[in-house]
Chain A
Amino acid sequence: MAKRIDVKDLNIFYGKFHAVDRVTLAVPPRSVTAFIGPSGCGKSTVLRSLNRMHEVTPGARVEGKVLLDGEDIYATTVDPVEVRRTIGMVFQRPNPFPTMSIRDNVVAGLRLGGMRNRKQLDEVAERSLRGANLWAEVSDRLDKPGGSLSGGQQQRLCIARAIAVQPDVLLMDEPCSALDPISTLAIEDLIGELKKDFTIVIVTHNMQQAARVSDQTAFFNLAGVGQPGRLVEIDDTEKIFSNPGQQATEDYISGRFG
């Protein structure tokens, strides 16, 4: 379970555009790391490169290393499908599979991976839904379509779906930005619990959220339009929000820009 991530000199390109410049950071296991920074600074791009999801975009490529417990996920011998099975992801907008029921959504990763045993799948579905704090709300309508849930419930369904395949790391790309405050609170509480089992990296625009849920915070920024984004600093969340090492970080978190 929960593994550590080490990013070393990571450069990310979209075609000729240099999107992210030389990022180096470390994410310890069983912790929450928050990525903050203004729009377009590359924090989502860095997140998506942690499970090789960014290469789904045509023309995207990386240079540098991403190590999962010391193993380079960009080594030529590594299958990106295996990487994504180990490093799960939750997206900005809830995206349950519209053709599937709630239960089938949760176990989609296992079913498509070849697991057939109905009893086992039902167990995983219940465990994952309990893990995502959704079981109580949906246990009586598991056969209803996933699209019938509210936005907040859908997002927790997506989290249940992501943890059902038992990844080592969970990446979250602004998981609460489409949700109301109550659903946001539910997800934040959930992140606190998931931290016991998973390594979590979360991108957020909400600095209070970063301060509430994360153990360490990374601040990304970009020098100007068309310039690559870069990591300004990464440190304990408490230190970033009380006594940041860089002026730019302080300006950003105190609302002087961005």
Chain B
Amino acid sequence: MTTTASTLDRPATPPAFQAVGGARKFKNILATVLVTLAFLIALVPLVWLLVTVIARGFEAVITADWWTHSLKGVLPKEFAGGAYHAIIGTLLQTVVCAVIAVPVGILAAIYLVEYGRGRLARTTTFMVDILSGVPSIVAALFIYALLLSTFQMGQSAFAVSMALVLLMLPVVVRSTEEMLRLVPQELREASYALGVPKWKTIVRIVLPTALSGVVTGVMLAMARVMGETAPVLVLVGYSKSINFNIFDGNMTSLPLLIYSELNNPNPAGQLRVWGAALTLIILIMLFNLVAALVSRFSAIKTK
């Protein structure tokens, strides 16, 4: 039996690792193109919206009056006045809403994660799920029926805040719940093993560990309810002047300003619409920025 050099050079078995096949290469390129395309398509409306709002509202928000004056005594066709009253309104309504929704939401989440067992916990989770699916107009009508019709309260910013609470509560409960569930069980056990009672473990160990995520969730929930329009249309009246009283009188917020100025056919009205829209975006952006900073500041350090 003779063996030539060429048969000796050839390996007895094919090599274990081979080049990437043509079909796999093709699929890889196809998938890469598809996901990149989808990303770009998703990006288009976002950029478009931002560019439009900035381009049309820019002129309004760069004036100092915009941030310091209301529209009191300003004629519809006059290029004057500002959105101070609406900014105050939006902030007041959001803060009052947060003061109620955040403690209730965080405590409910603590109940669900740390204590909740059995039927009550399941019911709570179910209700939170339902609440998170309630359209804002329904929340507004419910508050209308409850506070305005049943309890004979007048239209007020407080009623708006209550409707916003209904919308904010499930978001806060959900995000806090998720953050608390991320805290390892081992940390709770370590604390119990030191003879620390459960409530103190939650307050001093679990909450601080989850703090950064909880704060982020709250800030995002606030940014989310800021732009809600249905409650302000149903539950409070429009006013051109500043009102700090949440229980009495009309109070304009940014969405309400936009809505009312839409009926103003003058160029000045158009400018106010876009200016208010841009202001709303700026406010929400600031909230997100604060959320990011707070989250970074309270994040767990390992160095």
Contact surface of A with B, Cβ cutoff 8 Å: 51, 53, 56, 58, 81-82, 84-86, 88-89, 91, 93, 95-99, 108-109, 112-113, 144-145, 147-148, 158, 161-162, 165
Contact = CB atoms under 8 A, between A and B. Distances in A.
Interface stretch (B57-65, B184-192, B223-231, B234-242): B184-192
6 contacts: A56-B188, A81-B192, A81-B196, A99-B208, A113-B195, A147-B300
Contacts of A89: 189, 193
B118 to A, nearest CB: 10
A56 B189 contact: yes
A99 B209 contact: yes
Interface stretch (B39-47, B75-83, B197-205): B197-205
Contacts of A108: 191, 194, 196
Interface string B170-194: 0000000000000010111111111
Nearest to A164: B194
B190 A95 contact: yes
A85 B117 contact: no
B187 A97 contact: yes
Contacts of B195: 81-82, 84-86, 109, 113, 165
B194 A91 contact: no
Given A84-B192, A148-B302, 11 more contacts: A86-B195, A88-B194, A89-B193, A95-B190, A97-B191, A97-B205, A112-B194, A145-B300, A145-B302, A158-B190, A161-B194
Contact of A147 (B184, B191, B194, B302): B302
Nearest to B212: A99
Contacts of B204: 112
B37 to A, nearest CB: 41
Chain B's interface size range is: 20 to 34
B303 interface: yes
A58 B200 CA distance: 20
- Contact residues of B: prevailing secondary structure: helix
B193 A162 contact: yes
B193 A51 contact: yes
A109 B194 contact: yes
A98 B193 contact: no
Scoring A88, A95, A145 by chain B CB atoms within 10 A of each residue's CB, the highest score goes to A95
Interface in B62-119: 117
A112 B203 CA distance: 10
A145 B301 contact: yes
A98 B196 contact: no
A53 B303 contact: no
Nearest to B196: A112
Nearest to A90: B193
Nearest to A51: B193
Contact of B192 (A56, A58, A93, A161): A56
Contacts of A86: 195
B186 A91 contact: yes
Contacts of A98: 187, 209, 300, 302
A110 to B, nearest CB: 9
A158 B193 CA distance: 11
A111 B199 CA distance: 15
A29 to B, nearest CB: 20
A215 B243 CA distance: 78
Contacts of B187: 95, 97-98
A141 to B, nearest CB: 11
Nearest to B186: A95
B201 to A, nearest CB: 8
Contact of A165 (B188, B190, B194, B300): B194
A84 B193 contact: yes
Given A108-B194, A112-B204, A147-B302, A91 B189 contact: yes
Contacts of B186: 91, 93, 95
B301 to A, nearest CB: 5
Contacts of B184: 95
A145 B184 CA distance: 17
B303 A148 contact: yes
Nearest to B188: A56
Contacts of B191: 97, 108, 112
Interface in B241-285: none
A53 B193 contact: yes
B36 to A, nearest CB: 38
Contacts of B188: 56
A147 B195 CA distance: 22
B190 A85 contact: no
A229 to B, nearest CB: 21
